[in-house]
Amino acid sequence: VQGMKPVASGCEWINGQWRNEDALALMAAANTDLDYADVNPYALPLATAPQIASRQAGITVELPTMQKAFMQLGASADFVLVEGVGGWCAPLGAQGMQADLVRALELPVVLVVGLRLGCLNHALLSVRAIEADGCTLAGWIGNRIDADMLRAEDNIDTLKSRIDAPLLGILEHGTAPTPAFDPDCLLRRLAHAHPNGNN
């Protein structure tokens, strides 16, 4: 399994190149040995929306570059999990949107819902946008980013009742994934949604 972060804003200058913390974490967690440029083709220095960060850096974010990197990763892995940036409706650059990349790579979508006040509106609007963009929602993951969220379970139950795609797991606050979060289940669901193996 290999992670990919096609566009990352907020990078550090390390050994003469821009590097992103999330992309480095994906590389460390992978069981493949591939080039950073394939894992993160667009490393943007400014920690802001990718469209703004790419303009500030004088970089044009292009689909063919990301597709080529995805194919490179896919040649050495059974699964490629692609991480978005900035939320579903955040433009990737001057032209492209997240949905354009998902359609170009023919990927199903896993929505990560930050469990905090406002998550119902945010999650349900995101689901609506994903479906309106003609993409497949394979499932969603709850991320307990607010350990003190009031009525968290009620919010989870509401989302389960209103999102047709399955809940794939809950990541607890401040801990490593627990048995309640089943990565194998996630991979099985993604493989079912996208039979060629690259997700």
**Which residues are known catalytic residues?**
5
Cross-strand bridge partners of residue 192? none
Cα distance between residue 127 and residue 160, in whole Å: 12
Cα separations in angstroms, 46 against 7, 13, 18: 12, 11, 11
* Residue 49, Ramachandran bin (φ over 0: left; ψ between -120 and 50: alpha; else beta): beta
DSSP 8-state code for residue 44: E
Number of C-beta neighbours around residue 159 at 10 A: 20
* Residue 10, Ramachandran bin (φ over 0: left; ψ between -120 and 50: alpha; else beta): left
